Structure 1
Amino acid sequence: MNITQILKRRRFALIIGFSSFIVACSKDNSDPVPSTDLSTFVYDMPADTGASMGGSVDGKTQRPFYTITFQFSTQNKQVIRNKVDSTSLLQKGDWDIAFTKEYNSYVVTNNGTVAGTPGYGGPGKGRLVIVEKPYDQVIEAPAEDVFQRDGLAGVGWDNGNGLGWFFYSLNNHICVPIKNRTYVLKTAEGKYAKLELLNIYKGNPKVVTDLFWPSPYITFRYYVQADGSRNLKSTK
């Protein structure tokens, strides 16, 4: 075998090896949501990562967390830093949910009639109902009387009352998302949607044991029924 043939074989082996590496990387970084899912998946959305409750350390400042609003149809995120932002941005119908309070862990709908919530005084028609079913099994929104009877402005820490999206321990100060609990809501425009809140820690880890794991980086998925009906089947 001459030197030209040896070089050709080596080049071919390198091409095959590199192709295999690309395929392997593609598999490792695949979207965790199946391709048959019509939902929108938001992964590691940075909330107010500059605030801290335990002192000004690691580039963070001890102060209240800014409110983060999010619109389902455009995936537009807004940061509410002060009263000027609040006045100009919150009393509008161009956002559907807001991430508020400590570590942006309290998720609130945009409803203009609920005092004490970010959208109070605006045109928002949001409301939220907890459904004790896995996300994919929720295929229809509850009837209007259920929203009127059981509707909530938002969800946060479940302290045993069944009305939150995560458990929180005062011993280790770690948030643990509740599985198989889905949040059916009305958008600011009054359309039906479903929401799965998956994590508040960077990388969407299955288990967190480190109090200082980077947060809040919020991972969630949602599906909005554009035709206004209560049909929430989100798979093809």
Structure 2
Amino acid sequence: MKLLSTYKNHYQQLFIALAVVAVFSSCTKDQVKPQLQDGSSTVVTDLPGDVGSTINTGFKTFYFSFATDSKVDSTAKKSTAWDISFAREYNSYVGINNGNNEGSYGFGGPGKGAIVAVSQTYDSVKEAPSDADFQSKGVTSVGWDPGNGLGWYFYDLKTHIAVPVKGRTYVLRTAEGKYAKLELVSMYKGAPAVVTDLNWPSPYFTFRYYVQQDGSRNLSTKN
């Protein structure tokens, strides 16, 4: 899988490349898949992105609704019908639906979305941050991590394989203003614990999320 060749200069910063390689080299074939089912969260496996496209042809953005656990047609992007978008290279940049954010695909619509990166495991995230934190720490989208502690995967410049960041969870405000948490697990079909083949089928997304329906900030998913 040859990601992000269009952005070659951006990705060839030496200190970042070394950090990425170090993280990737720590992965072994003895790794096992995480247990995603917890009785509360919704688990999505192998959600197909714009399969068959390439860096040269570009990847068509698609939209996903937490409420319906499904893709949403692009004609509804100026509505609250979707919560996260999958865009750019290999659809790997996950963005919010916010009508006031010019970088959001929902700009101009009624969406109230926000997203904050948290350096905690999914299970240990039990409460959404304050609105002030969403305002000061929030980002428009998350994808490749260039060393800023926000992205959901590292990209190895030697193997051209994406490696999910361990212990990173995203806390969101949905398009309708509810609080949720999200763990992005893999962009490869079958969500293998370790990918060794750069031609492994992608993008196929595996992730899990939990939306607190009562309006509170309580995001506990395990008793």
Q: Is TM (by shorter chain) over 0.5?
A: yes
**Aligned-partner residue type, residue 42 of structure 2:** T
Aligned residue in 2 for 1:49? 51
Q: What whole-Å deviation, never above 9, does each CA across 1:131-152 have from its counterpart, x for those lacking one? A: 1000000000011111111011
Deviation at residue 78 of structure 1 after TM alignment: 2.9
Q: Name the structure where helix makes up a greater proportion of residues.
A: 1
Where structure 2 has 5 or more consecutive residues not aligned to the other structure, the ranges are 1-33
Q: Secondary structure at the match of 1:164?
A: coil
Quote the Cα distance in structure 2 between the aligned partners of 1:64 and 1:119.
20
Where structure 1 has 5 or more consecutive residues not aligned to the other structure, the ranges are 1-30, 54-61, 81-87
Quote the Cα distance in structure 2 between the aligned partners of 1:150 and 1:128.
8
Quote the Cα distance in structure 2 between the aligned partners of 1:175 and 1:169.
6
Please tell me whether residue 139 in structure 1 is matched to residue 126 in structure 2.
yes
Structure 1 runs (4+) greater than 4 angstroms displaced: none
Q: Which of 55, 65, 84 does residue 97 from structure 1 map onto? A: 84
Deviation at residue 75 of structure 1 after TM alignment: 1.1
Contact in 2 for aligned 1:47/1:104 (Cα 8 Å): yes
- The structure that has the greater radius of gyration is 1
What are the residue-to-residue correspondences of 1:5-84 with 2, within 5 Å? Answer: 32-34=35-37, 36-53=38-55, 62-78=56-72, 80=74
Quote the Cα distance in structure 1 between the aligned partners of 2:144 and 2:36.
25
Contact in 2 for aligned 1:33/1:41 (Cα 8 Å): yes
Q: What is the number of equivalent residue pairs in this alignment?
A: 190
Quote the Cα distance in structure 1 between the aligned partners of 2:58 and 2:76.
18
Aligned residue in 2 for 1:85? none
Q: Secondary structure at the match of 2:149?
A: coil
Please tell me whether residue 233 in structure 1 is matched to residue 216 in structure 2.
no
Q: Secondary structure at the match of 1:146?
A: helix
Contact in 2 for aligned 1:182/1:196 (Cα 8 Å): yes
**Aligned-partner residue type, residue 176 of structure 2:** E
Q: Secondary structure at the match of 2:132?
A: helix
Instruction: Give the aligned CA root-mean-square deviation in angstroms.
Output: 1.4
